[in-house]
Amino acid sequence: MTCETAGPLRRVVGPAHSRIAPVAPLPDLFPPPAVMGVINVTPDSFSDGGEFVDPSTAIAHGVALVADGADLLDVGGESTRPGSEPISADVELGRVLPVIRGLHEAGVPISIDTTKAVVAEAAIAAGASFVNDVSALRTDPRMAEVVARAGVPVCLMHMQGIPKTMQDDPRYDDVVAEVAAFLAERVHAAEDAGIARDAICIDPGIGFGKTGEHNLSLLRHLDAIAAVGPPVVVGASRKRFLGSIIGDPERGRAVATAAANVEAVRRGAWMVRVHDVRETREALAVAAAVEAAP
């Protein structure tokens, strides 16, 4: 058996299988505060839809995000914005595989943002070494098996409903307690399916079936989400509730995102998922310097 190292993960190649395996717990692989850069290769994502549908443009953008400080790039080929319609696996694969192959050749750690096992499987074969499933392994019954067999890390996210209808009328009795309980259950389900505990991280799903008040409550009480156990990922980047706070829903929201990310990290986030990497990296650096001051 041989090991081929690619960034913080390794490909374990044996006579009967090939898999990507974490060589350490996630916070050791990507020390906090870690930053996941977003690359949406879709025509209809809520913020940057259509900007990176050309593979060469998407690859160049990914390399630039790494230069700005991204630790990991999350490539997605299916929009999950409110009101979005699902697409076929063939369409999704046609969008993401050229980008993943190109980024892999550049030596960049890659996450595949998908709910489809067949897409995850092909993406891992093409060089992805992380799976970001916004359905927390619920959409495709094969997804847990694919992740477990490949040995890749997985992010399990909370979402109330489905993207098409999730923002119609989201309701909770206690959003923090309910999201935490859901994530705890999904972590147990993932472990039962053979996914190693050290390979699991969780995401409260900011903007996925939540009002602005729900989002703020989750950020304010992120310690309760962190208490579930696995490292916490927060994806507040450019979300609509930030536009409402700053009073200008049409602005880019990079500064508002950076502020939200500082608060998320202060309250226990291990990784933040962002479109504007440089602004968040700079804000986190200032916050860390303040914390370290005598």
| Catalytic-role residue among 186, 210, 238, 273 | 273
Longest alpha-carbon distance in the chain: 59
- The C-alpha angle 77, 25, 142, rounded to 5 degrees, equals 40
Residue 154: CB partners within 8 Å, gap ≥ 6?
Answer: 130, 131, 132, 133, 137, 147, 190, 195, 199, 200, 201
Per the listing, tokens 């008040």 go with: 213
Active-site residue flag, 149: no
CA distance 75 to 77: 7
Structure tokens at 201: 């991280």
Whether 220 and 185 have beta carbons less than 8 Å apart is answered as no
3-state secondary structure of 89: helix
Integer CA distances (angstroms), 70 to 4, 64, 84, 276, 279, in order:
22, 9, 27, 10, 11
Out of 210, 239, 253, 267, which one is annotated catalytic? 239
- Residue 30 and residue 199: Cα distance in Å, rounded? 12
The answer to whether residue 164 is catalytic is: no
Angle, CA 11 vertex, CA 66 and CA 141 arms, to 5° = 90
Active site residues: 239, 273
